Amino acid sequence: MFAAIAAVALAIGIVNAFSGAQDAAWRGDSYDIGRRLFWEMSSIAVILLLLPILILAVRRMRRTPGLAAQAAIGAIALLGFSTLHITGMVWVRKLALWLAGGAYDFRFSLATVLYEFRKDAVAVVLIGATIWLLESRRELKRAAIASSAPPAPQPPSPDLIWLRDGTSRIRVVPRDILWVASAGNYIEYSLADGTQHLIRGTLAAAESELARFSIVRVHRTKLANLDRVRGVDLKPSGDFELAFDNGQTLGGSRRYRSTVAALGSRTAPAGSATGDQ
């Protein structure tokens, strides 16, 4: 935005300087292009320094409802901008000419101030309109990007897992899983309601995914949901049998006895969903 406005302002200043010099030559005066470029560039430099005032004023106007309130903000911005522009322009010229060994006389009068204010009013309207259009275009682009952007993917629920087998997807609540057993190139999920799912995969991969749900290995080929266990029957051989809260049982190997040791010991009901091989 700043670069665009600066480029336009510089182009207008250069054209004005050459036009003024040509007009002076036609009137019989000196064709002093250097001095006229200095007048234009000193004015433009101060305008560019004051540009943030106009940007803030336009943005405030865009956020303010009501035409009267917007007009009041614009009027205040114009008066402040013109005051600072005239003052800054005069002092820049005085300083530059003083350093060059010359002097600058603004010839302060009401007519001179009104002359400069009139030019400032035109500049403020043109620059303000440009800023307004650029801000509108920026907002439209943001809205278009926001509307076309795909929604952010939602993280999977920690209370759900998906069993994947090729193109098939089965959603399962980990709490419903009683045990998981390997079956060749497949793994079998046994749920509390009696449903079973045979999914291609490895028991090691299932163990890694389900460990956070207290579904742990109790046998070389089996995982068990310890949250669904209501009893453990420890055998003299070191093996054990788990009794689930739905009445099913599952045999475990003595190698994994430490996994269920903290669950306590009790006799499980007769009958087993699967046995330890």
Q: Which residues pair with 222 in a beta bridge?
A: 181, 219
Write down the pLDDT at residue 265: 46
pLDDT tens-digit readout, 224-263: 999 899 888 888 888 889 999 888 999 999 998 888 877 7
The 10 Å CB-count burial string (b at 16+, else e) for 226-263 is bebbebbbbeeeebbbbbbeeebbbbbbeebbebbeee
Q: Are 1 and 128 in contact (CB under 8 A)?
A: no
Q: Is 210 helix (H, G, I), strand (E, B) or coil?
A: helix
Tell me how far apart the alpha carbons of residues 260 and 226 are, in angstroms, rounded to a whole number: 8
pLDDT of 264:
56
Closest-CA residue to 10 (of 35, 47, 44):
44
Within 8 A by CB and 6+ apart from 127, the residues are 5, 47, 51, 54
Q: Please compute, for residue 21, the number of CA atoms within 13 A of its CA located in the half-sphere on the CB side.
A: 16
Do 14 and 40 touch, CB atoms closer than 8 A?
Answer: yes
pLDDT at position 218: 92
* Average pLDDT per block of 10 residues along the chain, 277 residues long: 76 78 77 80 87 90 90 93 91 89 84 88 88 88 78 61 76 89 88 86 88 90 91 88 90 88 53 41
Q: pLDDT tens digits for 182-202?
A: 988 889 999 988 888 888 888
| Closest to 178 measured CA to CA, from 220, 135, 222, 224 | 224
**Amino acid type, 256:** Y
Q: Which amino acid is residue 190, in one-letter code?
A: S
Q: How far is CA 147 from the centre of its chain?
A: 14
In sign, the C-alpha dihedral spanning 49, 53, 59, 61 is negative
State the helix-helix crossing angle for 67-99 and 33-49, rounded to 10 degrees: 130
* pTM: predicted TM-score of the whole model, two decimal places: 0.48
